[in-house]
Amino acid sequence: MNIINLIIISIIGTGISSISVQLITVREFLSQFYGNEITISLVLFCWLMVSGLGSLASKFFKKKSFILYSILALITGLFPLIQISAIRLFRDIMFIHGESPGFYPLFFYILALSAPYTFLIGFMLPYSLAVIKTSGREFTAGELYITDNIGDITGGVLFSFILVYFLSPFKIIALTSSLLILISLALIIRLKRYLLFFGAFLSVALFFGLAFEKRFELSTLSNQYGPNIVSYRESPYGRIVLTREKGEYTLWESGTPIFSAFNITAAEEKVHYPLCQLERIEDVLLISGGMGETFDEILKYAPRSIDYVELDPTLIKVASQSGLLSPRGKVNIIPADGRKYITDSNKRYSAIILDLPEPDTFQINRFYTKEFFAHTKRILKKDGILSFSLIANPNYLSEVRIKKLSSIFNTVKRYFHNVLLIPGEEVYFLASNGKLTADIPQRLRKRAIATSYIDGFYYGNVTKERIKSINESINPNEFINTDFRPRVINIMFNEWFKKYGTSPNWFIATLIGVLVFYLFLIKKEEYVLFSTGFATMGVEMLILFSFQVIYGYIYLKVGAIISFFLLGLLPGAVLGNRWKKRGRAMLIRAEAGMLLLLMTYLIWVTFFPSMMPEIVFLLYGFTFSLLCGLQFPVAAEIIGDKESPAAGLFAADLVGAGAGTLAIGTLLIPLLGIQAAIIALILIKTASTFVILKG
Amino acid sequence: MKRSISRKEFLKEMGVLSLLIATEGHCFWPKNKAEEKADIRGHVFKNDAPKSLWKWSIEGFYYTTNGTDVQCMVCPNRCYLTPGDRSVCRSKVNIGGKLYSLAYGNPCAVHIDPIEKKPLSHFYPATEVFSIATTGCNFRCLNCQNWEISQRKPEEVQHSELFPADVVRIAKEKNIPSIAYTYSEPISYYEYMHDTARLARAEGIKNVLVSNGYINKRPLEDLTRYLDAANVNLKSFDDDIYRGLNGGRLQPVLNTFKLLHEKGIWFEMTTLVVPGYVDEPEMTKRMCGWILKELGPNYPLHFLRFFPRYKLNRLPATPVKTLELLRDVALKEGIHYSYIGNVPGHDGYNTYCHNCHKILIRRRGYNIAEFNINDGRCKFCKTRIPGRWEGL
């Protein structure tokens, strides 16, 4: 095969590898740090921005060499293993073991650890085009765009629909980098650099040896989890790790310890506060948190059945195998999404107990919204009880925590006559149409139920004065929390920034400054691509968040959504390549299409924010990115290669995409809600339409 | 003279060179936790003082000044403040060349707790304690459970108004025998605590300090005139951990224990067993060795179970077996009373006579199910039990 064809295949190989590495990197950072949408958008932002810089750098790189390209391609194939290992190993060097860093350290860590690879990826694409052109072969920027997309799509589909279900990150890296690595080796042989080939071959052998060696992969996790890892599984929903120290288990989900043995206080509080309120208990629904002593405590009420809903079957399996989950005859374990289960269920329950993390992600927030509470009310029996808890300091309620409690209180109060807050280790919400009492020990004595924590500590910790104070602190005017206007997410992000004593304002101001400077430098058509990149990633974020709101399991579906976006780019680019001579008229049609799609989204969110089949979101993403893909070859044709080579166009697209990710994903959606984000996108696109119209 | 080298020679030399560079580079690479010198100690907040004083201000009790700059002498941070600066603990400011505390009469947390919650197991068990706190702390513990007040400025929180006389009046009205200065770090509101304690002593109300013990000798000596008991954290027995996890130093805390001992103040020590940091039996052995040598065997040592909190939320809870192991180490080393906390229902809450090992106090949480101490002595073997039991 001739060298040029090998290079073209290597572009596809780069696409397959890079998209998989991007998805693995997102998941890795989610597992290492704060697992919310801020982390996702920071990773994608850094990825796109640094890729953009890489593309720009290639514009100024004069030396065009096949051998240099081959070496860079090989490094691109091998480097992901180093990157993911480095993310794991450097964590405890850069941060204090066990600590969750704040916004700025997190941002710089993500940037530093992902920059070398992403810069290389950004550099490689335009550089490959430049190298191909030295041979005199006709290959346009549009064709390069299409070739790259073929690789991206293949990688995205492979990862999201096959590999994520079966393999660990290192093995996925090895498989998805194989094509690129093989082609690089072939290129080196074709260029007759045999000594280099020998070195390259050794590196490749080491790479595959390490990637498929389980002990090596486990060793990279021991910094975070300690040396006593009993079980390590990558589930589509997250990383499940079980550790055992002094004979006691800790179960971790994506880096967060979700269960430690002998947490009597939590088990008693979550079960007895609600259940002791009822005279008769038949069926109990428990959403998450069924490990350890929980079932024992529920069984003290001799219910007819306990339905335990847990999202991740891998988590259930690991917990069951280690004895952390010991189902009895009355317990039905249901592997399902809790919200979906409650929405679809027709069974009526005496009590629903939610044991979920704080609503600081869209996934969890949807268990604290108006829409969700309406569903819980529907499946509760008359005078049945709903219970959940939120973190709050029992000694002092800060302003931001009062807002959080008030918003959720007002939301749940819409559906239940009585809502009582009990300030235990966490603040427990009890909601029912029946009577509620805060004298839990008295109720337990009446039922002759023995407890360790409540019996001995309740009156000392949950004093009448504390109960009164917390219930009186609720502000009845605080906004209610809904799926698409997630007031609580906004509050939680404020709380997060307060915890670290930082504000994102400096970051935002710097970025805006740099962006404005960049926009002054670029050409009009580049601005169109910038705005298209911005809108595409912005819409991708919108879909991710909407999907999260409705379905919840973003960890699993992030790959599918990204794949559909990539899938749209290819036919778009092919069509654009065909119609590129039509010039500005074509660009305007694409602009109009995007504006129409955004308006549709706005109307749906505002007036009909209901369940939508998964495929609708995916098709929406596909269509939007098709229009984006269409614009690239057209804009490239208008500008011409001499005015701005491919590097400038790629850079504009990538920088726009990075800015869109951050603006929509990190700022607008969390702070102002989904509608505000759509309106911002409409404005950006309207501006670019004007730019084209003005010519 | 020009000399060409073969490819083989070149590769060999490059190999040797790489090894050398790697060896050199290794010197700069942190090898393990012990070698890391992470230091999260706080810093002075430059130009962060309010323009003028507010109602809840008082001139600092312990500071030096050159007429313009001031240096707070309450704690070992010894914050040097130029005009307009704010101290590490966030409570003290330099306004007009004088040091002022902004935390005086403005508690943000006011509760009535059982004395066992502090925890104090040998100080009038099953009594209530009126507990107050303003904002501020001279440490930066990553696992602080009260960070919303300890890591905040007095102006940033909602507070009530209770000047020292009000605190004492309420405690008296409610018939509460003790007042605890607790939750955040009372050393950061030293003046408020000092004045309240002085008035409380005059009214026969006891004073309890719940603290990290990071205080200088003179202010502590002054405070001990009114102090009846203390629970002081001994967060670890390693200065590196103190700096890396808590933002303080070990030695001043040890000095506090020695001074409290000298002054005859009843105190108990608390160690939060943070997995991976404070769970080494060897460290506990060294710690107990120091306690026995400097303080004797009578002061109780509490080992508390850690749960992920605040910024340190990516660590597991302490295994109960680790707590049991450390308690056993302490008892074996010769500490007479060692307790386990944050594990409801555990036997480690009970008090056993250090002489006959029979049960003295069987606790069910904060309640007492069995009490076998008469006039401060074991009911069985008549051994004097260290602590404060008068009237019980």
The reply to whether A30 falls in a domain is: yes
Closest-CA residue of chain B to A35: B314
Which two tokens mark A32? 């290492």
Mean pLDDT, residues A542-567 taken together: 75
Cα gap A108→A94, rounded to integer Å? 11
Q: Model confidence over B296-325: pLDDT tens digits? A: 999 999 999 999 999 999 999 999 999 999
Q: Are residues B306 and B170 in the same domain?
A: yes
Q: Model confidence over A288-343: pLDDT tens digits? A: 999 889 999 999 999 999 999 998 889 999 999 988 887 778 899 999 989 989 99
User: A393 and B244 in contact by Cβ < 8 A?
Assistant: no
The reply to whether B91 falls in a domain is: yes
The reply to whether A218 falls in a domain is: no
Q: Quick one: pLDDT at residue A647?
A: 73
Residue B169, min C-alpha distance to chain A (Å): 18
Q: What share of chain B is helix, strand, coil (3-state, %, to 5)?
A: 30, 20, 45
The reply to whether A453 touches chain B by the CB within 8 Å rule is yes
Residue A208, min C-alpha distance to chain B (Å): 23
Q: Are residues A201 and A274 in the same domain?
A: no
Q: Are residues A386 and A241 in the same domain?
A: no
The reply to whether B146 touches chain A by the CB within 8 Å rule is yes
How many Cβ atoms from other residues are within 10 Å of residue A190's Cβ?
Answer: 15
Global pTM reads 0.89
Any idea what DSSP says for residue A63?
-
The reply to whether A96 touches chain B by the CB within 8 Å rule is yes
Q: Are residues B144 and B79 in the same domain?
A: no
Asked if A255 and A31 count as a contact pair (C-beta separation under 8 A), the reply is yes
Q: Are residues B244 and B379 in the same domain?
A: no
The reply to whether B312 touches chain A by the CB within 8 Å rule is yes
The reply to whether B133 touches chain A by the CB within 8 Å rule is yes
The reply to whether A321 falls in a domain is: yes
Range with the poorest average pLDDT among A83-87, A519-523, A601-605 = A519-523
Q: Are residues B195 and B288 in the same domain?
A: yes
Residue A98, min C-alpha distance to chain B (Å): 4
The reply to whether B23 falls in a domain is: no
Contact residues on chain A for B116, CB-CB shorter than 8 A: 460
Q: Are residues B159 and B250 in the same domain?
A: yes
Mean pLDDT of chain A: 89
Q: Are residues A587 and A547 in the same domain?
A: yes
Q: Model confidence over B32-85: pLDDT tens digits? A: 444 445 799 999 999 999 999 999 999 999 999 999 999 999 999 999 999 999
Q: Are residues A187 and A40 in the same domain?
A: yes
Q: Model confidence over A98-124: pLDDT tens digits? A: 999 988 999 999 999 999 999 999 999
| CATH at residue B178 | 3.20.20.70
User: B147 and A499 in contact by Cβ < 8 A?
Assistant: yes
pLDDT band at A68 (very low <50, low <70, confident <90, very high): very high
Q: Are residues A316 and A420 in the same domain?
A: yes
The reply to whether B294 falls in a domain is: yes
Higher-scoring residue by pLDDT: A229, A551: A229
Q: Are residues A296 and A192 in the same domain?
A: no
Q: Are residues B271 and B375 in the same domain?
A: no
Contact residues on chain B for A396, CB-CB shorter than 8 A: 108-109, 133, 146, 148-149, 157, 183
First to last CA, chain B: 98
Alpha-carbon torsion (A410, A412, A417, A420), positive or negative: negative
pLDDT above 60 for A470: yes
Asked if B72 and B82 count as a contact pair (C-beta separation under 8 A), the reply is no
| CATH at residue A579 | 1.20.1250.20
Q: Cα Rg for chain A, rounded, in angstroms?
A: 27
| CATH at residue A288 | 3.40.50.150
Q: Are residues B319 and B360 in the same domain?
A: no
Mutation for B interface: A97, A297, A475, most B CBs within 10 A: A97
Q: Are residues A37 and A118 in the same domain?
A: yes
Q: Are residues A629 and A606 in the same domain?
A: yes
Dihedral of CA atoms A485, A488, A493, A496 in degrees, nearest 10, equals -170
Q: Are residues B149 and B182 in the same domain?
A: yes
Q: Are residues B247 and B115 in the same domain?
A: yes
The reply to whether B345 touches chain A by the CB within 8 Å rule is yes
The reply to whether B20 touches chain A by the CB within 8 Å rule is no
Q: Are residues B131 and B261 in the same domain?
A: yes
The reply to whether B225 falls in a domain is: yes
Which two tokens mark A369? 């919204």
Mean pLDDT, residues A39-68 taken together: 88
Give the total number of structural domains in chain B: 3
Give the total number of structural domains in chain A: 4
Q: Are residues B80 and B132 in the same domain?
A: no
* Nearest C-alpha neighbor of A627 from the set A584, A591, A667, A681: A591
Higher-scoring residue by pLDDT: A151, A634: A151
The reply to whether B5 falls in a domain is: no
| CATH at residue A72 | 1.20.1250
The reply to whether B159 falls in a domain is: yes
Which two tokens mark A26? 């997102």
The reply to whether A557 falls in a domain is: yes
Which of residues 353 through 372 in chain B touch A, CB cutoff 8 A? Answer: 363-367
Mutation for B interface: A239, A268, A296, A395, most B CBs within 10 A: A395
The structure tokens 């080796």 sit at A185
Which of residues 256 through 285 in chain A touch B, CB cutoff 8 A? Answer: 256-257, 260-265, 268
Cα gap B124→B126, rounded to integer Å? 7
Determine the structural domain holding residue B145 and report its residue range.
Answer: 109-346
Range with the poorest average pLDDT among A6-20, A42-56, A609-623, B215-229 = A609-623
pLDDT above 70 for B16: no
First to last CA, chain A: 45
Determine the structural domain holding residue A691 and report its residue range.
Answer: 504-695
Q: Are residues A432 and A457 in the same domain?
A: yes
Q: Are residues A239 and A286 in the same domain?
A: no
The reply to whether B53 falls in a domain is: no
The reply to whether B252 falls in a domain is: yes
Contact residues on chain A for B369, CB-CB shorter than 8 A: none
The reply to whether A487 falls in a domain is: no
* Pairing state between β B229-233 and B206-211: parallel
Mean pLDDT, residues A514-521 taken together: 84
Q: Quick one: pLDDT at residue B30?
A: 44
Q: Model confidence over B199-257: pLDDT tens digits? A: 999 999 999 999 999 999 999 999 999 999 999 999 999 999 999 999 999 999 999 99
Cα gap B299→B12, rounded to integer Å? 65
Residue A455, min C-alpha distance to chain B (Å): 7
Mean pLDDT, residues A495-515 taken together: 85
Q: Are residues B229 and B318 in the same domain?
A: yes
Q: Are residues A127 and A154 in the same domain?
A: yes
Q: Are residues A453 and A578 in the same domain?
A: no
Q: Model confidence over B340-382: pLDDT tens digits? A: 999 999 999 999 999 999 999 999 999 999 999 999 999 999 9
